[in-house]
């Protein structure tokens, strides 16, 4: 499926890395790649491909970056970038994390402010997720620690960083590996935590405070070692399924069934019967491998999602959704049978409507970054919802109605393991061998529950629409 586009990268020097995230820059997407014991890198689009645009403050050449995430934590309309550094496998690290804030004079590390002395994180961990727990457009940052309690950072108006983990009920002692945030069992932003050497957590959002309900939904899996996790809605019914990749253990594809998604206003989740989750993973895909990052996106713009599985020292995998079922497919050049895959992210690098897949390698050796795409002539539509502050609305759910059915996408707050994709809902419309679907209406549901519909037409296909928050339209 994928073709190698690595020649569009600025160089092919080996890099030992883990996490990668995509945020919005002034002239297009910025791809942040964390270096492990080497420079972080920031890539952006140029005339002939990607170029290195790393600002000196973000380089941090001596840091050991794991998880990376972008979100507007100070409600100023621009995303900050959180980088989790750790030179320890678990427990306490000798390094501190970074929280980079872009100002009019350049980037600064908010943990370096005097008000935050002693507040920086030194707990070893892996992944970070942006979580709008109250639906205000001001994001908290949940850190999956390893052998130490999780943290949940929020930012005050004076730049003061505060760990709210105990107050919001997430100060669990974990073997945390992965995080994915979205409406898993409520209409709010819930969080699935993939753990190693212990049960997973499903943190239900009870009005801004969380409670673990994984066991009740059969998602604990205490004997498995979770890595990549993704939320995907293949049939457009508005109920997100949960893809869980395990390290050298069975890979799961939990289809959500039932549950109305309504909320009673008291933070008690669904008013209808609670959903259930059924593992529908194809046998070939369920076979154990060295799973790392798991990503869901419509790479070929045919209107149905694919799931890409990054593996370390084993071939990468691809799932395609066709005819109401998932099936294993050939990833083409992106198989990388000798690749030491650690992380991966997705965005439309050049604005042509075809998504690019960036793969990061590392852990047991340095390898160059890889870039892939699935060339196609299908049509597409991209939707960028905004918070009331004007920043990307991560955790928002975007639904597209067409003359052929409905598609649903989640704006990514954290792509399961170490990484995060672009803050855009990307929809393929098909049309390579048959007439493309005609878009009719886009609906956005923000984490706070506000909704807005926007009529679209066939003429608006192959464009990117920005959808303002209802608070900014007198709604």
Structure tokens at 40: 């972080």
Distance in angstroms (rounded) separating the CA atoms of residues 475 and 453: 11
Q: Give the Cα separation of 360 and 240 in Å (integer).
A: 27
pLDDT of residue 444: 98
Q: How confident is the model at residue 269 (pLDDT cuts 50, 70, 90)?
A: very low
| Average pLDDT of span 33-49 | 93
Answer whether 195's CB lies under 8 Å from 175's CB.
yes
pLDDT of 228-242, one tens digit each? 999 999 999 999 999
Give the model's pLDDT for residue 27: 84
Average pLDDT on 94-119 reads 95
pLDDT at 276 over 50: yes
Tell me the pLDDT band of 433, cut-offs 50, 70 and 90: confident
Rounded distance between C-alpha atoms, residue 12 and residue 455, angstroms: 44
Q: Which helix (H) or strand (E) holds 119?
A: none
* 332-365 burial code (b ≥16 CB/10 A, e <16): eebbbeebbbbbbbbbbbbeebbbbbbbbbbeee
* Chain centroid to CA 31: 13
pLDDT of the residue at 212:
97
pTM greater than 0.75: yes
The single-letter DSSP state of residue 38 is S
Q: Within 10 A of 389 (CB to CB), how many other CB atoms are there? A: 18
Q: For residues 426 and 267, what is the distance between their CA atoms, to the nearest angstrom? A: 30
Q: Given a cut of 70, is residue 261 above it in pLDDT?
A: no
What are the angstrom distances between the C-alpha of 400 and each of 51, 186, 305, 434, 437?
33, 21, 14, 19, 11
Structure-model confidence comparison of residues 473 and 472, the more confident one: 472
Residues 6 or more apart whose CB falls under 8 angstroms from that of 265 comprise none
Q: Is the pLDDT of residue 61 over 70?
A: yes
- Summarised one tens digit per residue, pLDDT across range 164-194 is 999 999 999 989 999 999 999 999 999 999 9
Asked whether 410 and 416 are in contact (CB, 8 A), the reply is no
Give the pLDDT confidence score for residue 263 in this predicted structure.
43
* pLDDT at position 443: 98
Cβ density class 56-72: b for 16+ within 10 Å, e for less = ebbebeebbbbbbbbbb
What does pLDDT average to over the chain?
A: 94
Confidence (pLDDT) at 273: 67
Would the pLDDT of 79 be above 90?
yes
Q: What is the mean pLDDT of residues 348-367?
A: 95
Residue 269 vs residue 77, higher pLDDT: 77
Residue 399 contacts residue 408 (beta carbons within 8 Å): yes
Contact 179, 142 (CB under 8 A): yes
Whole-number percent of the chain with pLDDT over 70: 96
Section 76-80 average pLDDT = 96
Position 265 scores a pLDDT of: 40
Angle, alpha carbons 141-25-456 (nearest 5°): 95
Residue 266 has pLDDT above 80, yes or no: no
Report the distance separating Cα 222 and Cα 288, nearest Å.
Answer: 16
Rounded distance, CA 341 to CA 101, Å? Answer: 29
pLDDT over 80 at 117, yes or no? yes
Using DSSP's 3-state secondary structure scheme, residue 194 falls into strand
E-assigned strand segments in 39-139: 41-46, 49-52, 65-71, 80-85, 98-103, 106-109, 125-131
pLDDT average, residue stretch 245-258: 95
Report DSSP state, residue 166. H
**Residue 166 CB burial class (10 angstroms; 0-12, 13-18, ≥19):** exposed
pLDDT above 60 (res 436)? yes
* Mean pLDDT, residues 196-220: 96
Report pLDDT for 416. 87
Output the pLDDT for position 334.
Answer: 98
Three-state secondary structure of 242-288: EEEEEEEECCEEEEEECCCCCECCCCCCECCCCCEEEECCCHHHHCC
């Amino acid at each position: 499926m994928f073709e190698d586009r690595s020649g569009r990268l600025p160089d092919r020097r080996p890099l030992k890395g883990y996490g990668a995230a995509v945020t919005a820059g002034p002239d297009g997407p910025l791809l942040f790649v964390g270096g492990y014991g080497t420079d972080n890198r920031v890539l952006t689009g140029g005339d002939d491909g990607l170029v290195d645009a790393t600002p000196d403050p973000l380089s941090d050449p001596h840091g050991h970056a794991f998880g990376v995430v972008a979100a507007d934590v100070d409600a100023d309309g621009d995303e900050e970038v959180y980088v989790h550094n750790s030179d320890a496998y678990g427990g306490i690290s000798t390094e501190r994390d970074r929280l980079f804030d872009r100002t009019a004079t350049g980037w600064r590390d908010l943990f370096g402010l005097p008000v935050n002395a002693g507040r920086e994180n030194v707990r070893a961990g892996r992944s970070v997720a942006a979580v709008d727990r109250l639906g205000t457009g001001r994001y908290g940052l949940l850190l999956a620690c390893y052998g130490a309690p999780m943290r949940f950072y929020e930012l005050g108006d004076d730049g003061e960083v505060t760990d709210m983990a105990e107050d919001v009920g997430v100060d669990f002692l974990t073997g945390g590996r992965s995080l994915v945030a979205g409406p898993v069992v409520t209409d709010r932003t819930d969080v699935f935590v993939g753990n190693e050497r212990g049960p997973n957590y499903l943190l239900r959002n009870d009005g801004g405070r969380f409670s673990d309900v994984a066991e009740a939904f059969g998602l604990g899996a205490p004997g498995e070692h979770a890595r990549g996790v993704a939320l995907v809605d293949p049939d457009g019914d508005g109920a997100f399924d949960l893809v869980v990749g395990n390290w050298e253990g069975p890979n799961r594809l939990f289809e959500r069934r039932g549950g109305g998604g309504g909320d009673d206003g008291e933070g008690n989740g669904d008013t209808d019967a609670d959903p259930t989750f059924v593992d529908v993973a194809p046998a070939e895909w369920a076979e154990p491998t060295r799973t790392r990052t798991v990503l869901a996106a419509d790479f070929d713009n045919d209107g149905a999602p694919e799931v890409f599985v990054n593996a370390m020292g084993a071939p990468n995998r691809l799932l395609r959704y066709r005819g109401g079922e998932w099936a294993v497919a050939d990833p083409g050049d992106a198989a990388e049978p000798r690749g030491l895959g650690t992380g991966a992210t997705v965005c439309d690098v050049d604005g042509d409507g075809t998504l690019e897949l960036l793969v990061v390698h590392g852990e047991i050796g340095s390898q160059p970054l890889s870039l892939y795409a699935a060339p196609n002539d299908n049509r597409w539509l991209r939707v960028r919802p905004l918070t009331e502050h004007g920043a990307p609305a991560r955790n928002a759910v975007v639904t597209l109605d067409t003359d052929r059915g409905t598609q649903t996408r989640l704006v990514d707050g954290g792509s399961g393991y170490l990484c995060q994709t672009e803050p855009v809902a990307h929809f393929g419309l098909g049309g390579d061998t048959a007439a493309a679907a005609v878009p009719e209406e886009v609906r956005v549901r923000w984490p706070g529950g506000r909704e807005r519909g926007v009529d679209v037409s066939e003429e608006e296909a192959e464009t990117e629409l920005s959808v303002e928050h209802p608070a900014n339209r007198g709604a």
